Amino acid sequence: MKNVFEFITNKRDYTLHFQNAEYTKNDFECFYSHEDVMGKEVEFLPGIFYKFELKRSVLLKNIVAVLCLYNGESQLIKLLPKILNEKFGKKIITIQFKNIRDSYSFFIDQEKVYGNEKKFQGKDEAKFQYEYEYVKEEPEYLEIPTERILFPCRTGGEGTRCSLKGVFREEGIFTTCTYENHYIFFDEYEMHCLTANSEEVRNICKMCNNCMKTIELMKEGRFIGPTKGNDSDCLTVGEYDGIYIIENGNHRACCAKAFGISLVKAKIHKYRRTEELRKEPEVIKGIDNQKVLDSFYRVFDGKGISRTVVNKYLETDGTDVGLIKLLKVI
């Protein structure tokens, strides 16, 4: 699929969905007018570049040239060149996608013409097509395979109980989706998924004494799991068609998954699939692309990493492990 698009924008609409935000034709054109660099390539969002060019007929060029020579007081005549260019000039946009890291979709006249899906360990496991409802029955207490437990989406402690979250937050690459106008390097689920395929990231986890104590007890078979009537140290999960989502015990489940504990005992609540399709999350409107772009490069600028190097990473690597190696987090 080609990653470069060139078209006349006068009578066409286009939209970009990037991460969790929507950028419209108006966002592109307002941003470009602020830059005042007609005919030059501009980076709109990380790894997404575009430029505007204005093509005019010979007659229009001559009329505009004459009007531009006018030095009178009439505001209308002073505005006429811009009005004529907007009305009769052909505004051509060339947009190029050089980002294989992030999830985004590009639409022309509401038809999707290009897109990229972020690739990370555990992504497909977390996709649910249907809605589920709780089954009102007694919970079960069973040993379950950790490979079928999803990594946590939200752990407590704000980085004080989870070493990985603490390091990523300090590096500026852990950003929750509630931080508007910020580039999202990792959400919490993606961050924890890294432990499944990176020994270097697991070494960060080893900095947490509580986690290592839990892992030691699990490996030795001395970890006390939940039993009926005794929910102390309780790992509680919801079962969704054989996939388990953590309801309580995020840190314990994460430790077990990251460090190869194949089975854990858990309290299980059942959920039944309905026929109702799960709604796609709504995109956020009104996000400032310049602030998103600035928040992205600020992390690299602070480490003296050039934009040329960053753009090469976005275009040719794009992996989460590649990112944290580039930033020398590990």
pLDDT at 28: 87
pTM: 0.81
Q: Are the C-beta atoms of 126 and 189 separated by less than 8 Å?
A: yes
pLDDT at 272: 93
101 burial via Cβ count (<10 Å: 0-12, 13-18, 19+): buried
Q: Which tens digits make up the pLDDT trace of 264-289?
A: 889 999 999 998 888 877 888 989 99
Q: How confident is the model at residue 102 (pLDDT cuts 50, 70, 90)?
A: very high
105 burial via Cβ count (<10 Å: 0-12, 13-18, 19+): middle
pLDDT at 155: 78
Q: Which tens digits make up the pLDDT trace of 69-98?
A: 665 555 555 556 565 556 666 778 899 999
Is the pLDDT at 63 greater than 70? The verdict is no
CA distance 264 to 225: 8
CA distance 47 to 36: 20
CA distance 247 to 157: 16
Average pLDDT, the chain: 83
CA distance 153 to 199: 21
Q: Are the C-beta atoms of 284 and 20 separated by less than 8 Å?
A: yes
Q: Which tens digits make up the pLDDT trace of 117-173?
A: 988 777 667 778 788 999 988 899 899 999 999 998 877 765 567 888 888 988 999
Compare 222 and 252 and report the one with higher pLDDT.
252
Nearest one of 321, 328, 55 to 199, comparing CA atoms: 321
E strand residue ranges, the chain: 4-8, 14-18, 21-24, 42-45, 48-55, 90-97, 104-108, 111-116, 130-134, 140-145, 236-240, 243-248, 263-277
As a whole number, mean pLDDT of residues 247-263 equals 88
pLDDT at 145: 95
Q: Which tens digits make up the pLDDT trace of 193-211?
A: 888 778 888 888 888 887 8
Compare 305 and 180 and report the one with higher pLDDT.
305
pLDDT at 260: 86
Q: End-to-end CA distance of the chain, in Å?
A: 34
Q: Which tens digits make up the pLDDT trace of 291-318?
A: 999 999 999 999 999 999 999 999 999 9
pLDDT at 73: 57
